[in-house]
Amino acid sequence: MIEIKGIYKSFGEKEVLKNISATFLPGKNSLIIGSSGSGKTTLLKCIVGLHEPTKGSVLYDGQDFTEMDFEGRVPIRKQIGMLFQNSALFDSMNVEKNIMFPLDLFTDMTRAEKLDRANFCLEKVNLKGTNKLFPSELSGGMKKRVGIARAISMQPKYLFVDEPNSGLDPKTAILIDDLISEITEEYQTTTVIVTHDMNSVMGIGDHVVFLHNGEKWWEGTNHEIAHTDNKPLNDFVFASKFMQAARAKL
Amino acid sequence: MFYSFGRYILLLRLSFRKPEKFSVYWAEVMREMVSQGVGSLGIIAIISLFIGAVAAIQVAFQLVSPLVPREIVGSISRDSTILEFSPTISALVLAGRVGSSIASQIGTMRVTEQIDALEIMGVNTPGFLISPKIIAGVSMIPLLVIISVILGLSGGYIACLVSRDIAPTDFITGLQNGFNSVIVTVCAVKSIAFGFIITSVCSYFGFYTTGGALEVGQSATKGVVYSCIWILFGDLVISSLLL
């Protein structure tokens, strides 16, 4: 379980996040949604420690992550898997080495064991046989799947995903969503996904947190989202004509 | 300026923390040694041969006098090659070749979130990315400078053979006359210091890149320019202290 309590984040004079609190539970897909510039990615970076919050705390199973120094954070970081918006695969390594990299650094597994684990992860994301390809040889959807394979290689307790569907066609986007949802359920990971894709929200949003101008405006499930009278949320969710038509039919 | 210098020192301190796993870091050091050392061999060989040849021809041209022994051309070529041409000119060329590559490589990793990915995993990113480059730089650049000295003096010999202004035997005699071993010490100190400057300064600019492709290019340029300035400053300091 991850709890965030009263998170504030400023860059110079600009306050990007204001008093955000939420709880993310294991085995659930928690989605942080909001329009561009609402502070979603900044909040995610505060949770994983890439940004230090100006005020507030982040607790991983009760342990205050914000109070820890670099060494103290390492044991928690070993339990974190993250998929970045642009996948962030290491260009100089092939697919297999990308997945084996955290295993090389943090485990005492033999090479054969690491290879087995890499193959297992690749099979999980339906990319069997792509071991020797380099990131430059992969499509956008394949990169995302390798990113997921790398993120789950250490069997993480916490999975963070930044804009999993950006730049993907609708079919591949659904495939990635399903994959994340399947991993969350199977491994009971605490999964936090930042997105502005309404298909993801409606498809896998067990728990949705809506940010607007750096503040939390709404929290609930994907089933509740269609019936809320929160104006900024409605403006965001039903911005497209397709969603407006879908709402009219409800 | 003080802010940047302080950040540079802190980055260096972080770079030399205990590695997560020695074998992974060692593999990176080896990879960097090949990239910096073997990869730069061609350009160093070419410039050293030509600079050595030009130095011999110019010294011979300036010392045309019956009062000056012909062997002096070899001695002056030797001293100038070992003291200045090989360590300093090689370092300036390597700042362009190795330094820009380091800054743009780390800078690209920064803007494509690869460094963030390493940090999320719990890797000490300055240690993993920068320390292997510095270790490779301070070990391979001195080796390249040794090769440069040998090829520079060979270039001078070839120039004597071709131009016939100075007899090759006079050149060889000059190389052996009045040799003071302190010039080798100065050359070694310079090459180690320049190796450190090139790799650490360019790593610093790459590591703190923000933005996109344009900023990666700017970081590489800044890395090379600042490395060159610090090389020339270091050259002055080392020469005045050790000679």
The reply to whether B223 falls in a domain is: yes
Residue spans of beta strands (DSSP E) within chain A: 2-11, 14-24, 29-33, 55-60, 63-64, 80-83, 158-162, 190-195, 207-212, 215-220
CB contacts of B123 in chain A (<8 Å) are: 105
Mean pLDDT of B139-167: 93
- CA nearest to B145, candidates B185, B202, B115: B185
Q: How confident is the model at residue B2 (pLDDT cuts 50, 70, 90)?
A: confident
Residues B33-84: pLDDT tens digits? 999 999 999 999 999 999 999 999 999 888 877 888 888 999 999 999 999 9
The reply to whether B9 falls in a domain is: no
What does the mean pLDDT of chain A come to? 89
Residues B156-173: pLDDT tens digits? 999 999 987 789 999 999
Range of the domain at B205: 25-242
Q: What single letter denotes the amino acid at residue B166?
A: I
Contact A105 B120 (CB under 8 A): no
For residues B174 and B154, give the distance between their C-alpha atoms in angstroms, rounded to a whole number.
Answer: 13
Q: How confident is the model at residue A17 (pLDDT cuts 50, 70, 90)?
A: very high
Put the strands of the sheet holding A207-212 in their side by side order.
A80-83, A158-162, A190-195, A29-33, A207-212, A215-220
Minimum mean pLDDT among A123-132, A172-181, A239-248: which range? A239-248
Residues A83-106: pLDDT tens digits? 998 889 999 999 999 999 999 999
Of A115, A134, A155, the last residue of a domain is A155
Contact B121 A106 (CB under 8 A): yes
CB contacts of B28 in chain A (<8 Å) are: none
Residues B72-118: pLDDT tens digits? 999 999 999 999 999 999 999 999 999 999 999 999 999 999 999 99
pLDDT for A3 equals 94
**A200 and A245 assigned to the same domain:** yes
pLDDT for A80 equals 93
In the predicted structure, residue A249 carries a pLDDT above the cut 80: no
Nearest neighbour of A102 by CB, restricted to B109, B121, B124: B121
Percent residues over pLDDT 90 in chain B: 84
Contact B122 A50 (CB under 8 A): no
Contact A73 B21 (CB under 8 A): no
**Residue A193, domain CATH:** 3.40.50.300
Contact B116 A74 (CB under 8 A): no
* Tokens, residue B106: 């780390």
**A95 and A67 assigned to the same domain:** no
Give exposure, B160-193, as e/b (b: 16+ Cβ within 10 Å): beeeebbebebbbbbbeeeeeeebeebbebbbbb
Number of domains in chain B: 1
Contact A105 B20 (CB under 8 A): yes
Of A155, A173, A192, the last residue of a domain is A155
pLDDT for A250 equals 62
The reply to whether B211 falls in a domain is: yes
Of A140, A155, A170, the last residue of a domain is A155
To 10 degrees, the CA torsion angle through A110, A111, A115, A121?
Answer: 50
The reply to whether A84 falls in a domain is: no
pTM above 0.95, yes or no: no
What does the mean pLDDT of chain B come to? 93
**Chosen from A60, A69, A105 to mutate, greatest number of chain B CBs within 10 A:** A105
Range of the domain at A175: 2-79+158-249
